[in-house]
Structure 1
Amino acid sequence: MKAEILATGDEIRSGALVDSNSAYISELLEQHGIEVVRHTSVGDVMPILVKTLREIGDRADVAVVTGGLGPTTDDLSAEAAAKAIGVELAFDSRAMENVASFFKKVNRPMGESNRKQAFLPTGCKVLYNPVGTAPGFALTIKRCRFFFLPGVPYEMKRMLADQVIPDMRALKGDEHIHSRVRTITTFGLPESLAGEKMAGVEAAFPGIKLGLRANFPLIQVKFYSRDEDAARLDKRLDDAGRWAIERLGSAVVSEAGESMEAVVGHLLTAQSATLALAESCTGGLVANWLTNVAGSSNYFLFSGVTYSNEAKMKVLGVRQATLEKYGAVHEETAREMAEGARQVAGATYGLSTSGIAGPDGGTPDKPVGTVCIGVATPDRAFGRRLTFRFGKRLMNKKIFAVAALDLLRKELLDKK
């Protein structure tokens, strides 16, 4: 079964809004053995929308369309779908009930413009939206079954899982093709070098397709494969995974595609350990990432964004003599920051960052891209200096934060 995804809206077409929906839909469909062969994005122009729907109808077995189901005049998906199959829009009482029930649930008055959302192509199947105002719908255009969903991600995800996937699986019937994606997260290798290390994997393991995804500063190595035999498919991916891990070596952060912060969280949990942070140049970024992981309250105790030298001394107990001798960006300063955070919070581990994110402020001895990371453990405390050659401030902040977590990760692995 071949699938296509169509993202609509001028904000998507123009790049003003990142289309995360299509990536999510693709991944979920692939997990259910439905091959996604094309992504398309079009703006809010009726003739182009109608033409695109008909073209997809000629090519695909199923399609998911996101966006254009709202109450405003530039929400054109329902009308475009009706034109594509030559029918009129008709008022649907079930759709109207969906719209009205949402406003009743949130105790807000419904605007007159929201009635527009209940006008759907004649003969379509209404898809109930339990978390928003916009009902979706399904219909067939030429050879393809289309599912029209809202562009709001949490609404789309709920409807996709509850209604679209079951319908697609029923359409798929006896076509038992299993699809898997195996992801390995790495840090410390540029994408080009990761690609070189993976050269030959498709020849060594027929049926494997290699993909590399850069999520700066991490690189994800992805193996895609499909097979009628699930056991054979899993073995192929396991064998390819071991092959890749051997070649990637110490750059491997997670064999299951997890983020750096999730891996650190798992290691802290396994040791019943806790963590405190002292951030300067990263401005709370490490804390933000760690607390995005569910369950982080079990191990994350404290974060101090001690940007000024005065804060480093008053909050963390960094010695004035250290700052006068070495400055804020130095291994010794970072070490004392980590020790101070650990002591203030009573944590098992302390982690600190102090650096020069740029674009200004560098010196010949400490150029832009320099970061000093401190780690304090129950047994010792130390600082490390690293230099990255990125001129952009946000890029430097991200790689500083990941490098700090990676240093802690390696320390935690040594304790296992």
Structure 2
Amino acid sequence: MQAEILSTGDEVRTGAVVDTNAAFIAEALETIGITVTRHTCVGDDLDDIAAALREIASRSDMAVITGGLGPTADDRTAEAAARAAGVVLEEMPVALEQIERFFCARGMVMSATNRKQALIPQRALVLENTDGTAPGFRMTIGACRMVFLPGVPREMRPMLARHVLNDFTQQHRSDGVVHAVDVMPTFGLPESVVGDKLKDITPTNGSLRVGLRVLFPEIHVRIYGQGDRPETLAAQMRQLKETICERLGKRVLSTDGRRLPEVLGSMLMERRATLAVAESCTGGLMAKQLTDVPGSSGFFLLSAVTYANEAKKAVLGVKPETLERYGAVDEATAREMAEGARRCAGADYALSTTGIAGPDGGTAEKPVGTVCIGLATPEGTRTFRYVFPFGDRDLNRRLFAATAFDRLRQYLMGTLRVNGSDEI
């Protein structure tokens, strides 16, 4: 089945708001075997929305439309849908009841302007929105099944799950069609190398296919499967994942979609071990990513953002002579930062980062993209120095943090030693 996505609203059309909905919907539909062929964006003009709906209906099996279901004058998607279908708007009691219930549950009185949101195209099916005031609806224009959802992501996402993904999955189960998607994040190899290593692994029967997605600094291997027997499909995907792990080795972070910080957190919790971090160039990014992991209080003890040299000395105990002799961006400084963080927190492990994220501040000896990382463990401390080829501050900071996490991950895996020479 092929589908299209239509995003509405002047704020999206002009770029004032980034359309994250389209990306989320496309990825979600792919997981249930629906191929998205086009993304379209139009503003708030009634004629433009209606024309876009008619055009989509002429060529696609299905469409998901977001935005324009609010209470204001420029929210005109329902009206455009009615015009495209050649029907009128009706005040739907079930929609009005949902809106009133939403306000009542919060101790509020519904404004008269919100009554507009109960106007739904004739013969459309109202879709409940438990997180906002804009009911969605489902209708058919021509031969195209269309689902209309609010544009607010926190409202759209649960509605997509309930009213599109779940319904479609149930329908295809009854048809005997099974879809599955697995994601295997990797780190440490460029996309071209990952692609080259995996170019000949998919079965010839077409039941499985492999795609790559860059979520910098990770490369995600995505496996898409389709079949008529869940057990057979699961076995095929399991075998393919084993082959991918054999080819990519320690670069595979997980086979269940977990990304690097979550994988590292799980490894620490399994060992009942704790971690502290000392950050300079990453400016708290490592702490942010670690505390994004559910249950991080079980392994993460301390973050020290010691940006200035005085802070490195006062908080972490970095020796003045180390800074004077080597400077802030040096393996010797990274060593003392990591050891100081481990000592301050009483942690099992500590990581440190000190580098030059850019876009300026580099020298011939220490160009932009240089980072020094410290890994302090009960067995001792090891340091690393890398020079990455990016001039972008944000990219460098994300890569610095991920590289530090991966050093500890590989140490815990046993593929990196404190006293040894291992390539990243």
TM, length-normalised to structure 1: 0.93
* CA deviation string 1:83-122 (max 9, x = no partner): 1111111222322222232233333454433222121112
Matched-pair contact (CA < 8 Å) for 2:357–2:369: yes
The one-letter code sitting in structure 2 at the alignment partner of 1:132 is G
Alpha-carbon separation, structure 1, partners of 2:376 and 2:278:
11
Cα separation, partners in 2 of 1:233 and 1:117, compared to 1, 3 Å: same
> Which segment is superposed worse, 213-222 or 189-198?
189-198
Alpha-carbon separation, structure 2, partners of 1:329 and 1:403:
16
- Is 2:154 the partner of 1:154? yes
Where 2:207 maps in the other structure, the secondary structure is coil
- Is 2:179 the partner of 1:179? yes
- Is 2:48 the partner of 1:42? no
Aligned to 1:413: 413
Aligned to 2:370: 370
Aligned to 1:244: 244
Aligned to 2:138: 138
- Is 2:334 the partner of 1:334? yes
> Which segment is superposed worse, 154-163 or 291-300?
154-163
Aligned to 1:256: 256
Cα separation, partners in 2 of 1:207 and 1:15, compared to 1, 3 Å: farther
TM, length-normalised to structure 2: 0.91
Alpha-carbon separation, structure 2, partners of 1:302 and 1:225:
42
The one-letter code sitting in structure 2 at the alignment partner of 1:63 is A
Matched-pair contact (CA < 8 Å) for 1:327–1:333: yes
Matched-pair contact (CA < 8 Å) for 2:124–2:138: yes
Where 2:256 maps in the other structure, the secondary structure is coil
Alpha-carbon separation, structure 1, partners of 2:169 and 2:215:
32
Aligned residues: 415
The correspondence of residues 14-413 of structure 1 with structure 2, limited to 5 A, is 14-31=14-31, 33-44=32-43, 45-169=45-169, 171-172=171-172, 174-202=174-202, 206-413=206-413
Cα separation, partners in 2 of 1:415 and 1:349, compared to 1, 3 Å: farther
Alpha-carbon separation, structure 2, partners of 1:353 and 1:385:
10
> Which segment is superposed worse, 255-264 or 36-45?
36-45
Cα separation, partners in 2 of 1:166 and 1:408, compared to 1, 3 Å: closer
Cα separation, partners in 2 of 1:63 and 1:34, compared to 1, 3 Å: farther
Structure 1: gaps of 5 or more residues? none
Alpha-carbon separation, structure 1, partners of 2:359 and 2:29:
42
Alpha-carbon separation, structure 1, partners of 2:173 and 2:332:
64
Matched-pair contact (CA < 8 Å) for 1:30–1:180: no
RMSD of Structure 2 on Structure 1 (CA): 2.1
Cα distance, 1:210 vs structure 2:
2.3
Where 1:334 maps in the other structure, the secondary structure is helix
Cα distance, 1:30 vs structure 2:
4.0
> Which segment is superposed worse, 268-277 or 113-122?
113-122
Matched-pair contact (CA < 8 Å) for 2:3–2:38: no
The one-letter code sitting in structure 2 at the alignment partner of 1:87 is V
The one-letter code sitting in structure 2 at the alignment partner of 1:38 is T
* CA deviation string 1:325-353 (max 9, x = no partner): 11111111111111111111111111110
Where 2:174 maps in the other structure, the secondary structure is coil
Matched-pair contact (CA < 8 Å) for 2:5–2:22: yes
* CA deviation string 1:163-206 (max 9, x = no partner): 33444346547322111122221112121222222222236674
Alpha-carbon separation, structure 1, partners of 2:105 and 2:186:
45
* CA deviation string 1:272-319 (max 9, x = no partner): 001111100000001111111111111111111110011111111111
Matched-pair contact (CA < 8 Å) for 1:42–1:48: no
Alpha-carbon separation, structure 1, partners of 2:271 and 2:170:
46
Cα separation, partners in 2 of 1:250 and 1:34, compared to 1, 3 Å: closer
Q: Which runs of 4+ in 1 moved over 6 A?
A: none
Cα separation, partners in 2 of 1:58 and 1:169, compared to 1, 3 Å: farther
The one-letter code sitting in structure 2 at the alignment partner of 1:375 is L
Cα distance, 1:384 vs structure 2:
1.0
Cα distance, 1:266 vs structure 2:
0.9
Structure 2: gaps of 5 or more residues? 417-424
Cα separation, partners in 2 of 1:58 and 1:39, compared to 1, 3 Å: same
Matched-pair contact (CA < 8 Å) for 1:349–1:376: yes
Cα distance, 1:64 vs structure 2:
2.1
Alpha-carbon separation, structure 2, partners of 1:176 and 1:37:
22
* CA deviation string 1:372-412 (max 9, x = no partner): 11111112112111110101111111111111111111111
Where 1:240 maps in the other structure, the secondary structure is helix
Matched-pair contact (CA < 8 Å) for 1:279–1:354: yes
Alpha-carbon separation, structure 2, partners of 1:262 and 1:351:
16
Alpha-carbon separation, structure 1, partners of 2:48 and 2:228:
38
Alpha-carbon separation, structure 2, partners of 1:25 and 1:4:
10
Identity value in percent? 49
